[in-house]
Structures are given as C-alpha cells and as structure tokens.
Amino acid sequence: MSWQDLTKSWQDTSVDYCDVCGNLLIHTYWEFADGDATLRACRQEDEALWHRLKRFRAGYPPAGHTPPPGLVAAARE
C-alpha cells in the first residue's frame, strides 16, 4: 500500500485506468493488494471503497432473500 509513479516513455500512447472507479491514472497511483492481485487506484480512499464493494458483492443477495414477484416479472420483460 503505497503511492507509485506512473512512468512511461514519451512515445507510449497506452492509457491506464483506476481498477476501482475507472478514472484515468495520470502521474501517480495508489497500489494495494487484495489476495493475490495487485490493484491500482487513483485515490488512497479507493482502497477502502474496493473492500466495501467486495463485501457487498459477496453478501448479495442475502441468504433466504427472495425479490418481490413484480420485480422479477418486470426484469424479464
């Protein structure tokens, strides 16, 4: 977990994006690990957001949760 410089040669036209929110990475990026993956973020606060979203995705839908029938029918149309 540290700030890293985004170093590229002057002729490199590739674009790098934040792994959390998709913003463009310009000069520096926040690097953090999640399991075996190393992620790059445009802000230090995005690390906490990443872990929060990960917990949300893992716990949704809650066990035993059934959506209202009208919602399911509307989604199928």
Distance of CA 63 to the CA centre of its chain: 24
Residue 24 · residue 15 · CB < 8 Å: yes
Q: Provide mean pLDDT across the span 9-21.
A: 94
Question: Would you call 32 exposed, middle or buried from its count of C-beta atoms within 10 A (0-12, 13-18, 19+)?
Answer: buried
Would you say residue 62 has pLDDT above 90? no
State pLDDT tens for residues 38-48.
Answer: 999 999 999 99
pTM exceeding the 0.85 threshold for the entire prediction:
no
Would you say residue 74 has pLDDT above 60? no
Could you give the number of structural domains in the chain?
1
Residue 27 is classified by DSSP as S
As given in the structure block, the two tokens for residue 22 are: 């998709």
pLDDT of residue 67: 66
Q: Which domain holds residue 6?
A: 2-76
